[in-house]
Structure 1
Amino acid sequence: MDEKSDRQPGSEREEGTSAQASRRRVLMLGAATATTVLTVRPALAQSAASVLNCSIPVPDGPNAGKAVAADGSMVAAGTQGSFPGGKIFKGEDVKNALRGGRSLPGTSYSQSQAYINYIRRLQYGRSGFTCYASLQMPR
Structure 2
Amino acid sequence: MDENTTDRQANEPHPTRRRALMLGAATASVVISIRPALAQTSASVLTCEIPVPDPGRAGMYVAADGSLVPNGTKDAFPGATKPFKAEDVRTALNGGTLPGTTYEQSRAYTAYIRRLQHGTAGFTCFASLQMPRG
TM-score, normalised via structure 1 length: 0.81
**Counterpart check, 1:138 vs 2:132:** yes
**Counterpart check, 1:127 vs 2:97:** no
Structure 2 gaps of 5+ residues are: none
Structure 1 residue 9, shift from structure 2 partner: 2.1
Q: Which amino acid aligns with 2:31?
A: V
After TM superposition, the structure 1 = structure 2 runs for residues 56-135 of structure 1, keeping only pairs within 5 Å, are 56-87=50-81, 88-99=83-94, 101-135=95-129
Secondary structure of the corresponding residue to residue 135 of structure 1? helix
**Counterpart check, 1:9 vs 2:9:** no
What do residues 24-71 of structure 1 show as CA deviations (whole Å, max 9, x unaligned)?
2x5444333211110111111122112111110000011100000011
Structure 1 residue 18, shift from structure 2 partner: 3.6
What is the distance in 1 between the residues matched to 2:125 and 2:51? 10
Secondary structure of the corresponding residue to residue 84 of structure 2? strand
**RMSD over aligned Cα, in angstroms?**
2.4
Structure 1 gaps of 5+ residues are: 1-6
Kept after mapping to 2: 8 A contact 1:72/1:117: yes
TM-score, normalised via structure 2 length: 0.84
Q: Which range moves more in the overlay, 80-89 or 118-127?
A: 80-89
Q: Closer, same or farther in 2 for the Cα pair 1:77/1:132, shift >3 Å? A: same
Q: Which range moves more in the overlay, 124-133 or 79-88?
A: 79-88
Report how many residues are paired.
129
Which has the larger Rg?
Answer: 1
Q: Which runs of 4+ in 1 moved over 6 A?
A: none
